[in-house]
Structure 1
């Protein structure tokens, strides 16, 4: 059921924008540029300094390189706007700890183990959470076969990962008939 439109007058206070772009490189790798930007619609004071309406409170980027298996081969971060210069950006290169992680297997938990709390920046660590699905979406249909499954005979990765793509559901019956299961057949649980 859609949310009913508000009858009360509203005014925008804050905007958080997330942007993830994935680029194919000539060497067969992929660059992922993810950013988080927070802005206010009114002037605020941060650390004793005035921040004008529309100027970023936070502007941060994660820069990754991944291979076709979705393994991170290089990672760094950049903080352009922050509330506390010299402190917010003083986490060395904490996000280099993402190197070696797979975006397909255990990524979100590994990020929490390596970068949660004071080991990283709250906002950059939160930004990491959108990376698996954003990169998978970029790879879908070109790097990752979304129709036939893998060489080992497993179904396409996206099946059984959301309610619409349940292997016993109507969407899979119509668009992935080879992989459809009747209600009596158990589906493997995706991790």
Structure 2
């Protein structure tokens, strides 16, 4: 589901998971604007990417909607807060895509299915092949890999747990946080 229109600046694309990558995560879900707390440096990292000409898309599972933990209006308010912080850091987010379904709904947009990535491709009118996907869980990376993305795992959020379970995906770039991911992306494409 697309929440916001995009500005097509260049063909470079970075896809970010939200909870655990941009903001603190919780096993009890992020249910309010007050609970949406940015990870230090994440807004600045997004600003660096957008300032360097990257299209920045957020792809996030939000089953809290299906579970009636929060409303679409609350989700929009959380995303407004996220965008305001990124804007204040001098950047912007080009599109926010979310799956509102629960794990038993059998939708095609809930990660690890690649539906959100497909939505991003259609929205921007370009393939995600070769784009970086940054996540804190195996399901984030699998969704991107299904569309040819380059996976980056952050240790924030559920990243350490993901590593402890054993990550059987080849060629995953592992970094401490979104700031380190942005640095890697910016230097990898010089």
More helix by share: 2
* TM norm. shorter chain > 0.5: no
Work out which of the two has the higher radius of gyration on C-alpha atoms and give 1 or 2: 1
TM-score w.r.t. length of structure 1: 0.31
Specify which structure has the bigger relative contact order, considering alpha-carbon pairs within 8 angstroms and separated by 6 or more residues. Answer: 2
